[in-house]
Structure formats: structure tokens, C-alpha cells
A and B are shown apart, each in its own frame.
Chain A
Amino acid sequence: MAPRGAGFPPGCAVTEVHCELCPRECLIPEGGAGDCRVRVNLGGKLRATTYGRPSAIHIDPMEKKPLYHFRPGTPVLSIATAGCNLHCLNCQNWQLSQRGGEEMEQIYRADPAEILALARDQGCESIAYTYSDPIVFYEYTYDTSSLARAQGMRNVFITAAYINPEPLRRLCRVLDATNADLKAFDEGFYRSVCGASLKPVLDALVIFREQGVWLEVTNLVIPTLNDDLAMIRRMARWIHDELGPGTPLHFSRFQPQYRMRNLPPTPAETLNRARAEALDAGLHFVYVGNVFGHEGSTTYCPRDGTLLIRRVGFTVTDNRLTAGGHCPTCNEPIPGVWQ
């Protein structure tokens, strides 16, 4: 993030800073902001304007992230600031993500130590960096996670994974779990719907896996845009080969939002077909989300089919795993972080 001098017309002193956090690599002029709206150039230095200034703080069940194989049924303190480095036309949290900090009606004052104290007071043993994309409040996430890690608390990161390798590797040292969006297995979709590209996302998912962060993947299925079964099969094969067959994959139902209100909600049948395709491609844990009471939110043993965890909405109604995370009938180890 070294300042980069520039001058045009000649004699006009202009100082830009180069933000190297995400693949956009914004060159930010003096007084300006990056594409995410919240990382700015003040006096030739890159500043994160939302550090210690979250606009959303809630206590959610872990299943809402969604993380199904990470401390099921536990509450998680969830924080977010304004801003995002993607601009998806179907964004579900656009009121938060597609604004700068100065546009938010409500901002909390909360330094990392205060977030940690709040989590403890509320009986949460995990903190989630979520809702918008926590990549854009990277420093706040990193400092809070470091402090939390030192005190035995867990950190979960809910992201679209559009981040450069070096900052991601550094962040992985203090993360315990992530749910990363894989929005489609198609470069054109990333370009036209999200204003981004696919390759850096795939690289980031591999880095999460290499660095030992528990990883689950979410794919929001949008009718006519990314519901092609052949593409879904290619995506599932890639997850199987590069991330492992035990990586949970969540197919989520689209609801018309933001600038994509012209399409209908995803039919349950489409989600069922996507799930069947991914299971057929060799993935062991494939879920359906955003459909209340769907059978696809239950975890089964991949070896003998025993029901392991039943969920209704975001509530765990039955957990039959052994204390060590094994199937109670065949003793198959089930991948995840269960304690």
C-alpha cells in the first residue's frame, strides 16, 4: 500500500495510493475512496474509515451464516460495517454493503476490545465478520480476531472471497471458519452480475483450505442466470477435486432483491436438482438453504446414511453426533469443528 506519485498535467502534484487488498487494486486519488467506498486516501495515506464503526451488530445462530459443520446450535456475535468490494445486482444486504460509512443512519462506536467484551457478556463464544463483505473492514476484522483468538474465542468470516492472496494468508492465521460465496462457476456471471471475476475467488477458496480454516461454500441459485445443471456439476467437481469431498456446499434460494427484482424466487425443484447433481459429483454434504423445513438442511452420514443433525430453519432440533464428531452407528468421522 505504498503511496504512488503521479502527475498529470505536468507540474500538478497528485498523490495516489494503491490499495492492494483485493483484486481491484484501486488507485485512489487524494481525498477519494476506493471502489468499496470505505477505504480512502487521506493525506497520501490509505485509511479504513469504518474501523471501529460497525453499522450492524446482532446475535445470530451459527446456522444462519450458514455454517452447518462448525459448533452447531451456538450463538455468534455478528458484526458488519458499510461497504463492499462487489456490487452484485441481487445483493441481499445492499442497504449496508452498497453505501459508504457516511451514508449510514446508524453507526456504533466499538473498538475490538469492546466487541470482545460484548460477545462475552452476551454468552457468545464466536464472532462473525459478515453481512457486507468483511474484506473491506480487513484491519478491524484482523485486530478483533487477533484479540479474540488470544482469549480463546472463535472467529468466522462470511465472504465473497474476492481478496488478494497475501492479505488473505495473513488473515487466515486468526480465523477459525469461513463460509465463502461461489456465486457461479462462470466468468461471465461474475463480470456481468457482480462486477468482478471468478479466478481470484477460486484461488482464495484454495488458500482457505491450505491454511486450515474450516470452509463451507455457498452458491445462491438464480433462475436463468446460474442454474444450469452442467455448470453446477462442473462447480461441484471442482470443489470435490480442489477442496475435498467433505467440503459442505449450500445451495441457497434467491429472492428478488435490489436491482434484480425482475426474476422470480428459485423454485424448490431447481434447488433439489442442483443438490442431486452435486451429490452425484461426489460431494458428501450438500444442503439447501432459504427454504424453511426443507429436507436438504439435514446432515446424513455419507457412509451409512444415518441422520446426524436435523435442522428446522436456523434451529438444530436433533444432534446425534458423538462428542468427537463421529457417526453414532458406524463411527465414521464427520468433517467439521464440533466443539
Chain B
Amino acid sequence: MRPCNRSDPRLGLGRRGFLAAVAALWVGLGIFPLAARGRTQKLLSLHEADFYRPHDLAG
């Protein structure tokens, strides 16, 4: 029986699992803050809007 290696840098996930976890974390950390701040840009077509909606733009 192999001894337990507590210093395994892959956290016991195996090589593929470890890379997948790192990739998910990397993408998640990058996108989530943007989404949370509402800064993802929406490209809308004209029929998607209510042009009579009250707004506070001057002029």
C-alpha cells in the first residue's frame, strides 16, 4: 500500500482534475467581479427597448 502523501500539490485531484480546478478558478475570478459590477456590455437591437421609459438624461 502506498503511503499517503500529504504534500501532494495537486490536492489529491489528479493531474487533469487539478488543471480543471485551476482553470475554473481562474475564469471564475476573472468574470464574476465583472458581472457583479454590472460591467458586462450588452449589445441590444432596437426592438428590445422601451423608448418612452422615464430617464434622467438632460437635453
- Residues of A at under 8 Å CB distance from B? 56-59, 64-65, 77-78, 80, 92-93, 96, 102, 104-110, 114, 118, 122, 130-131, 158, 179
CB atoms of A105 and B51 under 8 A apart: no
CB atoms of A92 and B58 under 8 A apart: yes
One digit per residue, 1 when the CB lies within 8 angstroms of any chain A CB and 0 when it does not, for chain B 18-56 equals 000000000000000000001111111110010111010
CB atoms of A108 and B49 under 8 A apart: yes
CB distance from B53 to the nearest CB of A (A): 7
List chain B residues, Cβ under 8 A from A106.
41-42, 44
Contacts A105-B39, A107-B41, A122-B51 given: A57-B46 contact, CB under 8 Å?
yes
Decide if B3 is an interface residue (CB 8 Å cutoff).
Answer: no
CB atoms of B42 and A105 under 8 A apart: yes
For A108, give its contact among B38, B40, B46, B58 (CB under 8 Å).
B46
The 6 A-B residue pairs whose C-beta atoms are closest, nearest first, are A92-B58, A130-B59, A158-B59, A131-B57, A59-B51, A108-B44
A55 to B15, CA, bound (A): 46
CB distance from B20 to the nearest CB of A (A): 31
CB atoms of B59 and A109 under 8 A apart: no
A130 to B38, CA, bound (A): 25
**Closest residue of chain A to B37, judged by CB?**
A105
CB atoms of A131 and B42 under 8 A apart: no
A102 to B41, CA, bound (A): 8
A106 to B48, CA, bound (A): 11
**Between-chain CB contacts (< 8 Å), 27 pairs:** A58-B51, A58-B52, A59-B52, A65-B59, A77-B51, A92-B57, A92-B58, A92-B59, A93-B58, A102-B41, A104-B41, A105-B42, A106-B42, A106-B44, A107-B41, A107-B44, A108-B43, A108-B45, A108-B46, A109-B43, A109-B45, A109-B46, A131-B57, A131-B58, A131-B59, A158-B59, A179-B59
CB distance from B11 to the nearest CB of A (A): 38
A122 to B51, CA, bound (A): 9
- Residues of B at under 8 Å CB distance from A? 38-46, 49, 51-53, 55, 57-59
Count of chain A to chain B residue pairs whose CB atoms are closer than 8 Å in the complex: 58
CB atoms of A93 and B57 under 8 A apart: yes
**Closest residue of chain B to A56, judged by CB?**
B57
CB atoms of A58 and B55 under 8 A apart: yes
- Given A93-B59, A130-B59, 17 further pairs, Cβ under 8 A: A57-B51, A58-B53, A59-B51, A65-B59, A93-B57, A105-B38, A105-B41, A107-B41, A108-B43, A108-B46, A108-B49, A109-B44, A118-B46, A118-B51, A131-B57, A131-B59, A158-B59
A179 to B59, CA, bound (A): 9
List chain A residues, Cβ under 8 A from B40.
105
A121 to B47, CA, bound (A): 11
A56 to B50, CA, bound (A): 11
CB distance from A322 to the nearest CB of B (A): 30
A102 to B39, CA, bound (A): 10
**Closest residue of chain A to B38, judged by CB?**
A105
**Closest residue of chain B to A220, judged by CB?**
B58
